[in-house]
Amino acid sequence: MASSLTVSNVDAGYGAVRVLEDVSLTVEAGETVALLGTNGNGKSTLMKSIMGIVRPSAGRITATIDGASHELVGRSTEEIVDLGIAFVPEGRRLFPKQTVTENLLLGAYRPKARSAIARNLDFCFETFPRLKERARQLAGSMSGGEQQMLALARALMSSPRVLLIDEPSVGLAPLLVSRTIDKIKELKEGFDLTVLMAEQNFTQAVRIADRGYVIVHGRIAFAGESAEALNNNELIREFYLGA
């Protein structure tokens, strides 16, 4: 069943500082949408607004999960996750003193995910064999790349329908970035997910995105209907590729 996400005319910020202005975007069922923009343009704030961590001052955010529509503004973060929307935040936010397995089991806290634990755990260990090798290691003692894998796997343990990922490439070596992006594609297909991914690394994000939005100074500056449209856009040449 279809799961999608719609953000309509959202304003949001911190105290008196307004970061997002009249932002609208949609992620249709089964799509991978990239949210592109350099640091400080509001990508993370938009992600946090969707997840109920930042409360928008205006606008609507609606999620359709398996056909049922839910308004997200005003709900707590835990309620939003419980609906079936998982979030891999910037900085990964693992539980550093818990083992890999303990982190994964915490990912399955959501009541709907509990019956699928064994299947999800198998899937995660299959997709990330490294995590299986390190199952008993403390999360905080792993490398950045391994931690990013664990953060993705932990989000999937909640059996989400929609997955939000904030800056998966931050702090990773170039080779690991492309491997992480490939894994996101693999997970999306394996779990039949709808994905919204915020990323600074334009070339990597566009490899797996169906389409994307460019956010500049808290406004959607360009909506590219395909990866080619993004590749050929003037704004992107100007802001990203320096051409």
Partner 1 sequence: MDGSLGLLLNAVVSGLLLGGFYAAVSIGVAISFGMLDIVNIAHPAFILLGSYVAYLANTLLGIDPLLTAVIALPAFYLLGMAVYQVYYLSFERRQDQSLRGLSFFFGLLFIAEVTLVLIFGVDYRLVQAPYIGPSLHLGWLELPLRLLVPFLVSMLMVVGLQLFLTRSFTGRAIEAVAQDPLALRLMAADPTRIKRVAFGLSFATAAIAGAILIIIQPVEPSIGREYIGRIFAICVLGGLGSFSGMVIAAVTLGVVESLTATFFGPSWAPAVSFGVLLVTLAVRPSGILGR
Residue 139 CA to residue 147 CA, distance in Å, equals 7
Under the criterion CB under 8 A, does residue 14 sit at the interface with partner 1?
no
> Using CB under 8 A, which of the segments 5-13, 19-27, 110-118, 224-232 binds partner 1?
110-118
Task: Determine which residue in the list 94, 149, 163, 209 makes contact with partner 1, applying CB under 8 A.
Answer: 94
Residue 57, both tokens: 């001052």
Task: Name the segment binding partner 1 (CB under 8 A); options: 13-21, 29-37, 106-114, 186-194.
Answer: 106-114
* Residue 50 beta carbon to partner 1: minimum distance, rounded to whole angstroms: 12
C-beta of 72: minimal distance to partner 1 in Å? 14
Whether the CB-CB separation of 206 and 231 falls below 8 Å is answered with yes
Site pattern 206..235 for partner 1 (x: CB under 8 A): ------------------------------
Site string for partner 1, 134-153 (x = CB under 8 A): ----x---------------
* Binding-site member from 27, 54, 86, 196 for partner 1 (CB under 8 A): 86
Q: Binding of partner 1 at residue 109 (CB under 8 A)? A: yes
With binding defined as CB under 8 A, does residue 82 bind partner 1?
yes
Rounded distance, CA 21 to CA 13, Å?
A: 9
What contacts 170, CB < 8 A, 6 or more positions away? 90, 91, 200
- Please work out the total of residues on this chain that contact partner 1, with binding judged by CB under 8 A: 29
Chosen residue from 9, 38, 77, 203 binding partner 1 by CB under 8 A: 77
**Residue 159 interacts with partner 1 (CB under 8 A): yes or no:** no
Minimum CB distance to partner 1, residue 226 (Å)? 31
50 and 60 Cβ atoms separated by less than 8 Å: no
Any long-range contacts for 227-236 (C-beta under 8 Å, 24+ apart)?
230/34, 230/36, 230/202, 230/206, 231/206, 236/36, 236/202
The CA distances from residue 17 to 20, 27, 49, 57, in Å, are 9, 27, 15, 11
CB of 211 to partner 1, least distance (A): 26
CB 150 within 8 A of CB 100: yes
Rounded Cα distance, 91 and 242, in Å: 27
* Interatomic CA distance for residues 150 and 105, integer angstroms: 11
Q: Examine residue 116 and tell whether it contacts partner 1 (CB under 8 A).
A: no
Q: What is the DSSP string of 121-150?
A: HHHHHHH-HHHHHTTTSBGGGS-HHHHHHH
Chain positions contacting partner 1, by CB under 8 A: 51, 53, 76-78, 81-82, 86-87, 89, 93-98, 102, 105-111, 114, 138, 154-155, 158
